[in-house]
Amino acid sequence: MELQGFPLPEDSPEPGACIRIERPEPDLAVLVLAPPHRSLAVLDAPLLRDLDAAVAELENGYQKGVVIAGAEPLKFAAGADIDAIESITAPADLKRICDFVHDLFLRIDKLSGRVVAAIGGPVPGGAFELSLACDYIVAADHPKTRIGLPETMLGILPGWGGCHRLPRRVGLPTAMQAILTGRLYPARQAKKMGLVDRLTHPEYLLRVASDIAMGRETPRRKARGWKGMLVDRNPLMANLIAKKARETVYRKTRGKYPAPLRAIDITAEGPRTSMQQAARKEGDAIAELATGPVCKALLSIFGSSEEAKKLGRDLEGFEPRTFRRAGVLGGGVMGGGIASNLALKGVATRIFDLAPPALDAVLHEHRGDVAKRLKRRRLTKAESLQALDRLDCSRSMDGFSGSQIVIEAVAERLDVKQSVFQQLARQVGSDCILASNTSSLSVTSIAEGVPRPERVVGMHFFNPVKKMPLVEVVRGEQTAHEVALEVAALAVKMGKTPVIVRDVAGFLVNRLLGPYLDEAVRLFIDGAQPKQVDELMLDFGMPMGPFRLLDEVGLDIAEHASESLHQAYGERMIPCTGLEPMRSPDRLGRKTGKGFYVFPKERKARESVAPDLADYQSGSSARRLSDEQIVDRLVLSMVNEASRCLEEDVVAGAKELDLATVFGTGFAPFHGGLLHYADKLGATEVVARLEGIAASEDVAARPGGSAKFEPAALLRENARRNLGFFSA
């Protein structure tokens, strides 16, 4: 059964079960979103069906006021049904859905009396657009309340009225900012921006909304006045704002994401377009975008990230403990970032380092981060003080006995990590998890000599800790399954996306980056220009090119990592030695001010290509390669190694591997991840291109020959059976 093209599940609730109409006083109707099949309302087919019926009932009667509320003050609705949208492939179906919802929201707008949305908790996308169809919006003043329109982050645009209702409410500049950033704003910031009209404590939400609906209170709304005429409805100003927005989007995305560009056009015209015309434009855009490859790729990543957040709950019903006390060993950049993140997320954390300057730097960074969040209204004053109190520094390894987990971020030496964990095990409880932030050492080896080695696990953060979303949870040979799940749950609490991986050299992300960065170095030695290659990969969709990445990582660190991979994987990972003459103590990349690029000390000055690079190039074969061939050598080297990772069960499956490539390497999200990209090419084409690279004269002449590009067994099997990684 379908509702206007929206799939209606076979086990969907009976008609009328998702919306409850309450009448707490004469002439007041309260529509409660309370679907029995979901813990939090979603604007899916059953709920929209019942909302349509409830609105029809109100249209046939009279009421002075209407309130639309969630089942609880902090449970309004989670937006549209993303799974249903992802499953729809026919543009006509999506157009019918949008037409239906626009008509429904317009009928809500025209109901007799005041219509008030009483919102709280997460209010993203379609849930906020439903609120925008009401006369007033009252929000629960609570940290869990987050309001906004994140659709452009998913490859679509606010297609249920957001692109034309929001600029009418808050003005074109603010609406454009909210739609293009896709941010979910805290309640107080949303009030300041005009996204909502009134704030109240969650326990008073329904009462305040009812008072407004019945006319006993009228919130002050900041009118646009002359700004509305001069800016929002002025074609010249609107076009100027749109032009600036397009320039910003192109600078950030190189035009690879169509949704923000379509959103700019529709939003800019919104205040000057009738509701019916704007609705048609939104519907047409949604029908095209939501069935396109970019949206499907982004929705796939979103779905995988949502699944990763459930890693802490096993199928057998295992529930992870709530971590309240943690320890961190090592006050460097990584350790300090981990400790600060834990403290910000509500975990009392003690960090140890022998050097007072290191601990001073940790506290300084933490205080600065807290102050920044307070200034941006992401924390209240009370919350900021609590976050400061939760971070404690120590120059002694005493005081960790009450910790439920201790994360080490000390020197990347096996003997040091083993010694630290063996010493720590003597003072912490037997159920305290010992996690290593190692990026290259074996977790199994680190656990040797530690009592109860099943509690030792890898928790590999990426630098910078507070910005990089991925955490690799590394299971050593003796790591307990429950321990891995608990660490994954803690990563989610820290705002990270966990991926559980096997304990192999390089784990997953660094193992995939190894051949990619090595190939870039080989291209450079053979005459390729770093700036040109970096530009090619930026255009491909990577956040930075391989040479800029090498400078960021550090040429010494990259050399160490490549040697480790060579020892583990043999000839296909033989590192290029051509950089040895260039690498020196004062030329290691950004940290020394010079690598492939020169990094000036002045803050606003931009880096430039080092002028002496030609001195370190000994070949010219790369100059004969086309742009496509250069991209293939870089990207397909990763695809080939990713295939081997799946063969070895390094990660649960293709979905998890793609998630790690997007969140860990920044692999172009619009491709959907590394293996989604390979599937677009097709296994037969990938194998043919790899064989072509392997047979090329310069590759065959390398130490190790063409081993890197010899197609993996899984790739060959997929090509033989005409399968993809996601259809195998």
CA 542 to centroid of chain Cα atoms: 15
Stated as kind and residue range, the H or E segment containing 328 is strand 325-329
Residue 167 contacts residue 271 (beta carbons within 8 Å):
yes
DSSP label of 470: E
Residue 109 contacts residue 168 (beta carbons within 8 Å):
no
Q: Cis before residue 464, ω within 30 degrees of 0?
A: yes
Position 512: which residue type?
A: L
Task: Tell me the C-alpha distance between 663 and 318, whole Å.
Answer: 26
Q: Taking the C-alpha atoms of 687, 690, 691 and 696 in order, what is their torsion angle to the nearest 10 degrees?
A: 160
- Exactly one of 102, 164, 366, 460 is catalytic; which is it? 460
CA 195 to centroid of chain Cα atoms: 24
Task: Tell me the C-alpha distance between 707 and 302, whole Å.
Answer: 35
Dihedral class, residue 185 (left if φ above 0, else alpha if ψ from -120 to 50, else beta): beta
Look up 560 and say whether it is catalytic.
no
Task: Tell me the C-alpha distance between 158 and 164, whole Å.
Answer: 9
Give the N- to C-terminal CA distance of the chain in Å, as an integer.
30
Strands 6-7 and 19-25: unpaired
Task: Tell me the C-alpha distance between 682 and 296, whole Å.
Answer: 17
Which tokens in the block code for residue 626? Answer: 């086309």
What secondary structure, in 3-state letters, does 581-635 show? Answer: CCCECCECEHHHCECCEECCCCCCCCCEECCCHHHHCCCCHHHHCCHHHHHHHHH
Of 222, 213, 109, give the one whose Cα is nearest residue 169: 222
DSSP label of 151: G
The DSSP secondary structure of 632-699, one letter per residue, reads HHHHHHHHHHHHHHHHTTSBS-HHHHHHHIIIII---GGGTSHHHHHHHH-HHHHHHHHHHHHHSHHH
Residue 125 contacts residue 101 (beta carbons within 8 Å):
no
Cα dist from 610 to 536, 582, 613, 614, 615, whole Å: 18, 11, 6, 9, 11
Which tokens in the block code for residue 459? Answer: 């928790």
Rg of the chain taking only CA atoms, in angstroms: 28
Cα dist from 443 to 335, 483, 490, whole Å: 18, 13, 19
Residue 30 contacts residue 71 (beta carbons within 8 Å):
no
Q: The sheet that has 497-502: what strands, in order across it?
A: 391-394, 348-352, 325-329, 405-408, 433-436, 456-461, 470-475, 497-502
Q: Tell me the catalytic residues.
A: 460
